Amino acid sequence: MMKNAVISTLLLIGFLSVPAFPQDWGSGVGAPEPGRMSLTLDFQRLNQTFDVDGTEERLRRDLFRARADFRPGDVFSLYGFAGHAEISGSLDSLRALSYGGGVRLLFLGEVVVEERDEEPIEIKLGAALDFRASRLSPESGNAARTDGGATDGLSQLQAGLDFGLTVMGIGGYLGFAFTRNQGGLPYPAAGSAVPASAWKFSSTLGLQFKKSRHLGVAVEWSFFGLRSFGVGLRIYP
């Protein structure tokens, strides 16, 4: 009874809260166990405002990506990712490669609650500091100006903090991040597209469900700063 009530409460809070900026699938409480790794396949749709030759335009990025996380010890995990992005606006579109990686410092605690004649309830609570770098590099087929290299590609540096709670494999997390944009993208119809703001503050909310020891799913939303939605399948080998 208690287990069902806790799970129902977490799901209700998550779906009512919806919203935020993706921090690459999961909080510290979603990290693999020490000495293990996880593989994530995900899709993310993100809208971001760019300066297109003096005019602000909101471009949409559809990204398919694979990510690998490895946790060598208790206090930190390493990750890297690569994928393909399609970026489109009202005038034109372009394709780009996306890749990068980062490190996450973990502050986790776990409690097991046992009840008579009931399965133990595992509760994991924690926080994590996340530092990552990523790059969007246009594919060679995109015609564009390269004014001093300004449209060779878009680099992003991000520092984030997240808090998460997981009960019996079902949980949610809330995060905050500062993102630094540098560079720009070619935009064939108008020359170049540069992020309207070099610095972005954002907040994150996500849900995750570890269906078994080897399989889980994650969902994230955004409405503040950058508007986005994403879903991912996580595999624990």
For residue 194, the cross-strand partners are 51
Tens digits of residue pLDDT in 6-37: 444 444 333 333 332 334 445 788 888 899 99
Q: What percent of the chain has pLDDT above 90?
A: 26
Q: Is 216 exposed, middle or buried (0-12, 13-18, 19+ CB in 10 A)?
A: buried
Q: Where are the domains of the chain?
A: 2-235
Residue 199: its pLDDT value, please?
Answer: 82
Residue 26: its pLDDT value, please?
Answer: 58
| Nearest C-alpha neighbor of 152 from the set 192, 94, 181 | 192
Tens digits of residue pLDDT in 122-174: 888 889 999 999 999 988 765 544 444 456 789 999 998 999 998 888 888 88
Distances in whole angstroms, Cα of residue 64 to Cα of each of 30, 160, 231, 236 = 20, 22, 10, 19
pTM of the model: 0.79
Domain at 2-235, CATH from 2.40.128, 3.30.750, 1.10.8, 3.10.180? 2.40.128
User: What band does 226 get if pLDDT is binned at 50, 70 and 90?
Assistant: low
CA pair distance 228, 24, nearest whole angstrom: 12
